[in-house]
Structure 1
Amino acid sequence: MGRSMNRVRRIGRLGAIVGFAMLMGQAAPRGAERLLDDSDGRDWAAFGRTFGEQHFSPLADIDETNIGRLKLAWYADLPVGNSVSGPLAVDGVLYTATGYSVVRAFEATSGKLLWEYDPHAAEAAGHKLRQGWGIRGLAWWNGKLYVGTQDGRLVAIDAKSGKEIWSALTVGKDDTRFISGAPRVFDGKVIIGHGGADVGDIRGYVTTYDAETGKMLWRFYTVPGNPADGFEDKAMEMAATTWAGEYWKYGGGGTVWNAMTYDAGSDTVYIGTGNGAPWNWRIRSAGKGDNLFLSSIVALDAKTGAYKWHYQTNPGESWDYNAAMDMQLADLMIAGRKRQVLMTAPKNGFFYVIDRTNGKLISAEPIAKVNWATRIDLNTGRPVEVANMRYEDKSQTILWPGPNGAHNWMPMAYDPRNAVVYIPKLELPGTYDDRGIDGKTWKRIPGAANDAAVNINLDSTLPGAGTSALLAWDVVKQKQVWSVPTPGFWNGGTMATAGNLVFQGQADGRFNAYAAATGKPLWSFDAQVGVLAPPITYRAGGRQYVTVLAGFGSSGALFGEKVARFGWDARTQLRRVLTFALDGTAKLPPAPPPFKAQPIADPTFRADARLAATGASVYGVRCLVCHGLDVKAAGLAPDLRASPVPQDKAAFESVVHDGALVPNGMPRFEELTQAELDGVRQYLRTAAHGFAMTAQKKASR
C-alpha cells in the first residue's frame, strides 16, 4: 500500500488514475503509464515518446562504448510519398504513417508487414492538396492509432487489425484547412489542429475528441472572430482587444499545425500557434495590436479547453515567425529554485524557458544569428525590436532568420539528466518589403500557395546563409555546449538516449550518432537518401532497436539549389524504414547512382519573354512550394526542367488543369485560364531551355 501511494504522488494526476486502478484491482487505461516521462522506454508510444515531448529514451543497451556494433537489423521499402514522419513502437509492433497518411504496422523484430491502412486522403482533399506535403506522425492510445489526413479527417484505427474504428471531419469540407501534424493523446482524449492559414482566410483552432468514440468534446479558437457574432469565451473577448480594423475578414491565422504538449501533473494542454493570416500586420490588423494568440504558447485546461495563460513570442507577428515548433516539459533547478518549465525554440531564433504553471518568462537567448531584435526583455517578456524590422519605410529589409526560421518543425531532443537540448539549427535570412502592395485593395489570390501580402525572397548570398548545424544547448545556463556543422540547409529531427548518444539524420543521406557530451561523431550509416524524420528507439524481444524513416521532402524542397544539390529525385529516390540493433546482419542493396537532372531536347521551343513572365508569376504563387526555387526541385516533386510533360500541351493541361495525378499528390488547378496555363508551360520550358544551354556550355569546355 505504501509503495503504491508513493508511486501515485510521484507520477502526478494521470499516474494517480493508473495507480488507483491497480490498487482496486481494475485494469488501468492501456497506454497511460507508458506515456509518462519517467516510463521505462520499452515503447515509443507518442510522437515525442511521452507526454512531455522530450524525444529522449532511458534505454542504454546501445551506448557510446558499443555504438560501433550498431548494424542494420532490417529494412522495408516504401512507395513514393512523404517519408519524413515519426514512427511509433508499442508492444513489439512498429507503426508508420507516410505519404498521405497511409499507416502500416510491422513486426518490430523482423520487419514483417502486418497490415496497411490507406485513407485515400489525396483523392478526397480537393483544393486542400495545394498546401502540405503529407503527414508527420501519428498517436497511440488504448490499442488504437490516430492519424490526421490532408482532407482534414481524424481517423482512429485498431492497432491489431488496421481496421478503421471511427473518423471525424475536423475542418470545413471546402475551406483550406488541412492536417499534416501528429495528433496527441491524453487522459482518454485525442487533440488535433490544422494548417492552411498561408493559403486561405483561416481562423485557427484545436479540437479534442473522445479517444474511444470520436465524439467532439471541446474546441479552442486561437484568434477572435467577428465581434458581431459574439465571442465563444472570455479568452476570445480578451484577444479581440489586441486586434484592429476588420481583422475577421482575413481569418487571422494562428493555426496549430504541429506543436501540442500535455502536462499530466496539472492536466494542462499547451498549444503552439502559427503566424498571422495574412502575414502583413498592416493589412491584417491595420498595423495595430499584439494580435493574440498568434505566435504564442497557450495553456488550456485539458478537460474543458478553457484558457489558463499565454506567452506570445512575437507580438504583432509579421514575418512567419510562428511558435508551432515542439515544446518540451521539464523540472529544473534554476537560481536555486525548482521550476516546472516549458522549453521551445520557435522560428524567431531565440530559445525560451517559460514557467509552465503561469506562463512567465524565465529566460530567452538567441541560438542563431538574429537581427530583428536586440534581446527579449525579461521583465515584460516582449522582444526589443530593431527599427524598420517591420519594413515600415517600404525599403527591402533583411532579417535573420528568414521565414524558414532558425528551427523548423524537425523536433529537438532534451536529455533530462544534464538539462541539454539538441536542436536542428538553420541559418538563412529573408528579405521582406511590401512595395507595390496596397492594403486597401489587397485580396488573397484564390488557390495561391502564399498570401502575397509581403514580398519575400530568401537570400543565400550572405556569409553563413544556407547552412545548418546540430546544436547542443544548456537550458539552465542558456549557452552553447557544442555545435556540429551539418551538410546543406535542411537537417533532420533529433533523439537523445541514456546511452549518452544523440541521433540525427541529414540531408546528404547519412544517419549519424554523436557523443552527447562533446558532439564527437561516433557512428554513421549510409541511408542512400536524405534522412529528415525524427528517429525512435524501443525494446522488442529483449533487444533495443533504433528506427528512422529515410526519404527527402517536406517543406525543405522549396529552397531550390541549397537542398537540390544532394540529388534526391521525387520519382526515383529510395524511401525506407531502417531499423538497427547491435550486431544486426541485414544489408542494403547497392545504392543507385545519384540522380542528376538531365536536359531533354525541346526542338519546338521558341522564346517568348512576355508569356514566360506571366507564367513565372503563376508559378511563384502556386507551384514553387513543391517544385522549388528556380524550378530546382529537391525531392518533394519532380524536377520540371527535365520533364517532357510541359512540352506536350494536352499532357500538361491534363495534369495541371484536370488533375490526372491527384492520387500521386499533384493538385489540380482548374481555375487557371488558358493564358495562365500557356504562361506556366512557357516559363517551365524556358527554364528547361536555360538548363540545357548551361549544360551544353559546361560540356564544351
Structure 2
Amino acid sequence: MRAKTVWAAGAVAALSALAGLAATAFAQAPAGRAEQAHPGRAVYERACAACHDNPDTKSPPLAALQTLGADAVLASLTVGKMKEQGSLLKAPELQAVVDYLSAGARRDEAWIAKAACPADKRVVDLSGPETWTRFGVDYAGSRRLDAKRAGLTTADLGRLEVAWALGLPQTNSLRSAPVIVGSTLFYSASQAGYLLALDTQTGCIKWSLKTPRPMRTSMTYGQLGRGGPKALIVGDVAGQVLAVDARSGQLLWSAEGRHDPEAVLTGAPVLWRDRIIVPVSAMDVARAGNPKFPCCKVHGAVVALNAKDGARLWVAHTMPDAKPTGGRNAAGADLWGPSGAPVWSSPTINERRRVIYVGTGQNTSHPATATSDAIWSLDAMKGATRWFFQALSNDVWNMACSRGANCPAAVGSVRKDFDFGSQAIVARDARGKEIVVAGQKSGDVWGIDASGREVWRRNLSPGSPLGGVHWGLASDGTRVFAPIADPTGAGMHALDVSTGQVIWQRLLGDPSCRTLRAGDGPPPDRAAFAKCRNIGMSATPLVIDGAVVAGTLDGKLMIFAAEDGREIATVDTARTFETLNGVPGKGGSIDSHSIFAGDGLLFVGSGYAQFGAPAGNVLVAYRPKSAD
C-alpha cells in the first residue's frame, strides 16, 4: 500500500524541542568562546567536513553554512535534504552541530520592523495587474513578459540602476521566484523563515508571515475555488503545501503535498482552475551517501490538490513502489529498487489539450526504468499518463558515486545524472504546430511533438550533474534561449523553435575553459578549474520585450538582444549593497529561479551557495535611470 501520511504532530513537537535546545545553547554560549573548543566543531568535522570542506563536491563551504540560522540548519538535518546525515547523529550531537553552525547568525527580527512600510502604505491592493502569478510566467512556461506587462522596454534594460536592496539575515542562497500583483511583490525569504509582501517601488514590508518551517519552492497565485480568497501557494521543506491569504498574510490551510513521507518538494506548484498541481521530487540521491542507507526507495510523482482546501484529488507515479532486490551493498545494507525519476521542475500546462508536461530525473537504484531522464505527459484532470519521452535510458546514479557503497553497479547503467531539471515550454513551430521544448543536464535541448516523438535535438555542451541546461529555458515564440552551465559551452544559446538550429551564441570565459569537461571532475590543474567553474549560466532566464535576461554563476546579470545576441548591458551583483533594512547585503552567484520583473522594475536574488558558488543574501530591484 502506498504511504498516505500527513505531517505528524509528534514530528513537529520533536523539531520544536530541538530548536529550543539549540536556541538555549546559543543563548548560553559565552560570547568570546574559542571556536576550536565548541563541541559542535568535532561533530562537524566527523560528519560534515568530508563534503563541505571539499571543493570538488561543490557543497556549501563551512563559511556559507555559518551564515544560516538555527531553524534553517535544523530543518535541513531533520526534514530536509540532509535528513539521512542528520539521522546518524544523537540528539546532543545534533544540538551541538546546529549551535556551532548557527552561532554567528543574527537572531533578532529588527530587520522586519526597520523595513516596515508606513502604516498608511501597508494595504495590499489585489485589483492591480497580475504581472507574475507562477514560475513560468504563463501556463506554457515561456518565461516571457511583453513591455506592457513588465513595465520595461528593451531600451530601459540598457540603463539600469539600483532602486533598492533588501538584505536577508541568516541567508546564503536565494532560490525562489515570487508573485507580483499590482504594486506588491510577494517573496519567499526561505532561509530567513519568512514570507514577505513588499512594495515593489520601495521594498518596504507590507506584511510578514513567519512560516512553520523554511519554504522550498517558488510560488503560484490565484483564487482558491469559486468565491474563495486570492492566495499564495508554496511548498516547504517538510513537503507541506501552504495556502496564504495574499491580502492579509494569514495562513489559510496546510496540506500534505507528497505521495511518500520521504519525498520532497522542489519545483513550484501551479494553480490551474480548481486544482493545484504539485511536482514531487526525492532526496534519496543525497541520502545514498550514507553507506548504511538501504538504497533506494523513493520515486517521483505529480499530485493534484483541491485548491479550496488542499484535499487530494489524484496522484500519478513515475514507477511502482520499490522492493528489496535481494542484494546488499558493501556495507551490508539492503538494496531496493526501482527508485528515482523525481520531478524537480514546475509543471507546464497545455490548456487546450488539458495536458501536463514535467521532466524527470535519473533512477537512483537498479533496475532502470523507462520513465527516468524523460519528459512526461499526463492528463490534467485525472492524472493518467499519456506518454513518456525518454531521452537517456539506463541512467542510474546517486551521490554515492563520488565515493560510497551505494553507487549503483556500472553494469546496466551509464551513471550520468542527466536530469530534466528545468521546466518544459509549449511553443509553436513556423507552421503553427505545437512543440514541447525541453532542456537537459546533458547539454541537449529537445523539440518533441504533441504525441511524444522527437522533432529535433541540439547538443550545446558535454553536460554534467550541475551543468548543461540546469534550471530552465525561456522563449519569445520564435527562439528558445538556453543557458549552459558547463565551462564547455558556458553562456547563452538562441535556437530556432521549429528546427533547433543555433541562431546565435554568446560564450563566456577564457577560451581555455571550453576545453574542460565539467562532468569529468576537476582536472589536475585545479587553479584552471577554479577559474572556470563559475563562469556559466545556470539560472532560468527571462524574456522582456526584445531582450533576454540571464545570470551567471559568478554574479553577473547579463542582458542580450533576443534577435541577434548583442550585449545590451552587464550588471555585477556580486558586491556589497546598502540595504533598506540595515542587514549587511552582499551579492553572489545568480542561480535557480532568481530573475523576475514587474511594475517597471527588474529584480534579482543574488547569492546561491548550494553548489559551492558564491554565497549572497540580497534581493535587488533595478529601475531604468531617469533621462538627463
Length-normalised TM-score, structure 2? 0.62
1:213 paired residue among 306, 309, 313: 309
Distance 1:538 1:93 in 2: 10
The aligned counterpart of 1:483 is 505
Residues 1:172 and 1:296: Cα distance change in structure 2 (over 3 Å): closer
Distance 2:374 2:282 in 1: 15
Cα deviation for residue 159 of structure 1 reads 0.8
Structure 1 pair 98/181, CA: closer, same or farther in 2 (3 Å)? farther
- In 2: Cα distance, 1:92 partner to 1:508 partner: 30
Query: Cα deviation per residue 1:549-576 (whole Å; 9 max; x = unaligned)?
Result: 111223x32xxxxx4xxxx35xxx4x22
CA distance in 1, matches of 2:391, 2:435: 16
Residue number among 270, 294, 297 corresponding to 1:201 in the alignment: 297
State the match for 1:406 in structure 2. Answer: 468
Contact 1:493/1:534 (CA < 8 Å) preserved in 2? yes
> Where in structure 2 are the equivalents of 1:137-536 lying within 5 Å?
137-142=218-223, 143-171=230-258, 175-192=261-278, 193-198=280-285, 199=287, 200-225=296-321, 249-278=336-365, 284-285=366-367, 291-318=369-396, 319-333=416-430, 337-356=431-450, 358-368=451-461, 400-409=462-471, 411-416=472-477, 419-427=478-486, 464=488, 468-486=490-508, 488-497=534-543, 499-527=545-573, 528=575, 529-530=587-588, 531-532=590-591, 533-536=593-596
What whole-Å deviation, never above 9, does each CA across 1:626-674 have from its counterpart, x for those lacking one? xxxxxxxxxxxxxxxxxxxxxxxxxxxxxxxxxxxxxxxxxxxxxxxxx
CA contact (8 A) 2:282 2:342 kept: yes
Q: Residue 581 of structure 1: CA displacement?
A: 2.2
Residues 251 and 547 (structure 1 numbering): CA distance in 2 closer, same or farther, change over 3 Å? same
SS at match of 1:194: strand
- Residues 560-606 of structure 1, C-alpha deviation per residue, up to 9 Å, x if partnerless? xxx4xxxx35xxx4x22211222369xxxxxxxxxxxxxxxxxxxxx
Q: 1:172 to 1:495 in 2, by over 3 A?
A: closer
The answer on whether the counterparts of 2:217 and 2:235 sit within 8 Å (CA) in structure 1 is no
Distance 1:486 1:90, change over 3 A: farther
SS class of match (2:369): coil
Q: Give the conservation status (yes or no) of the 8 Å contact 1:415–1:496.
A: no
Q: Which residue of 1 aligns with 2:186?
A: 95
Map residues 106-145 of structure 1 onto 2, 5 A cutoff: 106-121=198-213, 135-142=216-223, 143-145=230-232
Q: Indicate the SS of the match to 1:491.
A: coil
Match of residue 619 from structure 2? 577
Pairing of 1:685-696 with structure 2 (within 5 A) = none
What TM-score results when the alignment is normalised by the length of structure 1?
0.56
Kindly indicate whether the alpha-carbon contact (under 8 Å) linking 1:546 and 1:580 is maintained by their aligned counterparts in 2: yes
Cα RMSD after superposing both structures: 2.7
**Matched residue of 1:493: which SS?**
coil
Q: Partners in 1 of 2:247 and 2:129 — Cα distance?
A: 21
Give runs of aligned pairs for residues 7-46 of structure 1, distance below 5 A.
Answer: 43-46=131-134
Separation in 1, partners of 2:541, 2:352 = 24
Contact 2:129–2:181, Cα closer than 8 Å, also in 1: no
**Alpha-carbon deviation of 1:42?**
5.6
* Partner-residue secondary structure (3-state), 1:342: strand
Residue 41 of structure 1 deviates from its aligned partner by: 8.0
SS state at 2:162 partner: strand
CA–CA distance in 1 between the matches of 2:183 and 2:220? 16
Alignment partners' CA distance in 2, 1:498 and 1:526: 19
Q: Please report how far the alpha carbon of residue 227 of structure 1 lies from its aligned counterpart in structure 2 after TM superposition.
A: 9.1
1:405 CA drift (Å)? 3.6
- The amino acid of 1:415's aligned partner reads D
- 1:54, distance to aligned residue in structure 2 (A): 0.7
Equivalence map 1:516-595=2 (5 Å): 516-527=562-573, 528=575, 529-530=587-588, 531-532=590-591, 533-539=593-599, 544-554=600-610, 556-557=611-612, 563=613, 568-569=614-615, 573=616, 575-583=617-625
Give the whole-Å Cα distance in 2 for the aligned partners of 1:478 and 1:253: 29
CA contact (8 A) 1:41 1:57 kept: no
Contact 1:494 1:503 in 2 (8 A): no
The percent identity for this pair of structures is: 21
3-state secondary structure, aligned to 2:264: coil
Structure 1 residues 497, 170: CA separation in 2 closer, same or farther (over 3 Å shift)?
A: closer
With 194-203 and 342-351 compared, the bigger mean Cα shift is at 194-203
Letter in structure 2 aligned against 1:516: A
Distance in 1, matches of 2:317 and 2:392, equals: 18
Helix, strand or coil: the match of 1:121?
A: coil
Verify the 8 A CA contact 2:456 2:499 in the aligned structure 1. Answer: no
Q: Deviations over 1:198-239 (max 9, x none)?
A: 1252122121101111110000011123699xxxxxxxxxxx
Query: Is the alpha carbon distance of 1:53 and 1:139 closer, same or farther for their aligned partners in structure 2, counting shifts above 3 Å?
Result: same
Distance 1:310 1:68, change over 3 A: closer
> What one-letter code is carried by the residue in structure 2 that aligns with 1:277?
T
Q: Give the CA deviation at 1:184.
A: 1.5
Letter in 2 for 1:362: V
How far apart in 1 are the matches of 2:167 and 2:463?
36
The amino acid that maps onto 1:510 is K
Partner of 2:75: none
In structure 2, the CA distance between the partners of 1:214 and 1:178, relative to structure 1 (3 Å rule), is same
Unaligned runs of 5+ in 1: 1-33, 35-39, 123-133, 229-246, 279-283, 369-399, 429-463, 558-562, 586-701
Contact 1:259 1:324 in 2 (8 A): no
Q: CA deviation at 1:88?
A: 2.1
SS in structure 1 of the partner of residue 336 of structure 2:
helix
CA distance in 1: counterparts of 2:374 and 2:537, whole angstroms: 25
Deviation at 1:297, TM superposition (A): 1.4
Would you say how many aligned residue pairs link Structure 1 and Structure 2? 415
Deviation of 1:493 after TM superposition, in Å, equals 2.5
Query: 2: distance between equivalents of 1:43 and 1:116?
Result: 21
Structure 1 residue aligned with 2:147, among 43, 52, 59?
Answer: 59
CA distance in 2, matches of 1:68, 1:340: 33
Q: After TM superposition, give the deviation of residue 494 of structure 1 in Å.
A: 4.3
Question: Partners in 2 of 1:172 and 1:302 — Cα distance?
Answer: 17
Instruction: Decide whether aligned partners of structure 1 residues 41 and 406 sit closer, same or farther in structure 2, where only a CA change above 3 A counts.
Output: farther
Matched with 1:381 is none
SS at the partner of 2:249? coil
Is the Cα contact below 8 Å between 2:270 and 2:276 reproduced in 1? yes
Q: Secondary structure at the match of 1:217?
A: strand
Q: Distance in 2 between matches of 1:99 and 1:149?
A: 9
Q: In the alignment, is the contact (CA less than 8 A) between 2:538 and 2:551 conserved in 1?
A: yes
